[in-house]
Amino acid sequence: MTLRPPLSLLAALAVTITATLRAQVLAPVPTPETVIECAGLAETTSTDTETVATFRDKVVVTGTNLKLTCDYLKVVASRKGDPKATIGKYGYFKTLVATGHVKIIQGDREAICGHAEIFPGEDRVVLSRASKDEPYPSIRIRGDKPGNDFLGSGPRMILYRGERKAVIEPEDGIGSRFILPSIKDLGFDKTKPGAAPAPAAPVITVPLAPAPTPKPP
């Protein structure tokens, strides 16, 4: 199910997240490094072609205009340099998979879910639940003033960067839900404050013909 225009706002999240991660490698000008911190175990394993890193407990990822927090993070990246080195050099990010209290903050956009998959090379972000006991993923886009926020939620959100497209897939008969800024009252039974009262409707009087005078007997 593709919805417009609310989902065009969701697609903006895919634009900024994937652009941020790709910029770490593809941008011609220097960009800030991606920093990953965690309070628990961090582990890295490598093959000749890729490196897999996992981080546990209070994971925080900070990048260009991006902050991601979660309980567990798995990063898969291409490997370059000496294939015999214990820790290989990172190439480009293939996937980032975050689970557990996932929050992605990107400028004025905030996504919350139980499971997030980011595919920088495919310009695609997938938000879902880690289990059916969790609430559905949601995205909030702050408006220019209080009360103008946009909030969308649904079972599974797929955000596409290059296509400016966002899809929310239903699950078990449950679809998407949106909360939009209020729309002014368009009713016609109220007078706008300060406006002059509407003129009274004209009264048209039709004279009645006089009753005929009775004839004498």
pLDDT band at 1 (very low <50, low <70, confident <90, very high): very low
- Domain extents in the chain: 6-172
Q: Which CATH class is domain 6-172?
A: mainly beta
pLDDT at 37: 95
- pLDDT 10s digits, 31-75: 678 899 999 999 988 888 888 999 999 999 998 778 999 999 999
pTM: 0.66
Q: Which two tokens stand for residue 185?
A: 């009252």
Task: Tell me the CA end-to-end span of the chain in Å, nearest whole number.
Answer: 90
Annotate 91-152 with DSSP letters as a single string.
EEEEEEEEEEEEEEEETTEEEEEEEEEEEGGGTEEEEE-SSTTSPPPEEEE--SSTT--EEE
pLDDT at 210 over 70: no
CA 6 vs CA 80, 117, 164, 184: distances in Å: 41, 22, 12, 18
C-alpha 97, offset from chain centre: 17
pLDDT at 5 over 50: no
Angstrom distance (rounded) from CA 17 to CA 36: 16
Q: Which two tokens stand for residue 140?
A: 């909030």
Q: Which two tokens stand for residue 99?
A: 């689970």
pLDDT at 142: 82
- Each residue of 129-156: b (16+ CB within 10 Å) or e? bbeeeeebbbbbbeeeeeeebbebbbbb
Angstrom distance (rounded) from CA 39 to CA 168: 33
C-beta separation of 16 from 190 below 8 A: no
Q: Quick one: which of 176, 183, 105, 177 has its CA closest to 148?
A: 183
State the DSSP code for 193.
Answer: T
Q: What percent of the chain has pLDDT over 70?
A: 65
pLDDT at 124 over 80: yes
pLDDT at 211: 56
pLDDT at 30 over 80: no
Element (H, E) at 24: helix 6-26
pLDDT at 155: 93
- pLDDT 10s digits, 141-180: 887 777 778 888 999 998 887 777 788 899 888 888 988 8
Question: In the predicted model, what is the mean pLDDT of residues 92-114?
Answer: 90
Q: Which residues pair with 179 in a beta bridge?
A: 151
